[in-house]
Amino acid sequence: MWLPWTAGPHEETSESVLVSLTEFRAHAWRDLPRMGWVALGLRAGWYGLPGAVGLYLWTDLPRRCVGSLSVWTDAAELRRWIGLPRHVQVMRRYKPRGTARSTQWTCETFNRAAILAEANQRLAKGELSPTAA
């Protein structure tokens, strides 16, 4: 299930974009509600995040999975987001509670529908790799 699109400050870009698809599979059901709330909290400031084009959050409850599909103006802005203290804190807290996987790709133009379709295809095929600790 995909949550509604959250626009970033660069949603109107006509340049190429970097797409990041993440999946976190919880070891235990008890961790899913809190993980969902944390993801919603991280999304709260998305409208003002430098380099952010937009974001979808998603969940697959039968598989105990939550994740994100984020779109960026470039790799440097994604790396900056990954290194923000709040994101690092969340990842350190939840990393031992599940398995994180991700993948990235670039698109010559920003087309939200095409990016979502590609993400669905990659999730269905399991085309994500374990993330670094």
Mean pLDDT of the chain: 92
Res. 133: pLDDT tops 60: no
Q: Residue 52: which of 71, 76, 75, 80 has the closest Cα?
A: 71
- Cβ(35)–Cβ(93) below 8 Å: no
Architecture per CATH, domain 6-130, reads as 2-Layer Sandwich (3.30)
72-94 pLDDT, tens digit per residue, is 999 999 999 999 898 899 889 88
13, two tokens: 């870009």
Res. 69: pLDDT tops 90: yes
- Cβ(39)–Cβ(91) below 8 Å: no
Q: Where are the domains of the chain?
A: 6-130
| Edge-to-edge strands, sheet with 52-60 | 6-7, 52-60, 65-72, 17-26, 98-107, 129-130
Q: Which of the four pLDDT bands, split at 50, 70 and 90, describes residue 132?
A: low
Q: Which of the four pLDDT bands, split at 50, 70 and 90, describes residue 131?
A: confident
Q: Which of the four pLDDT bands, split at 50, 70 and 90, describes residue 42?
A: confident
- pTM for this model (two decimals): 0.92
Say how many Å lie between the first and final Cα of the chain, rounded.
Answer: 27
Q: Residue 42: which of 104, 96, 97, 84 has the closest Cα?
A: 84
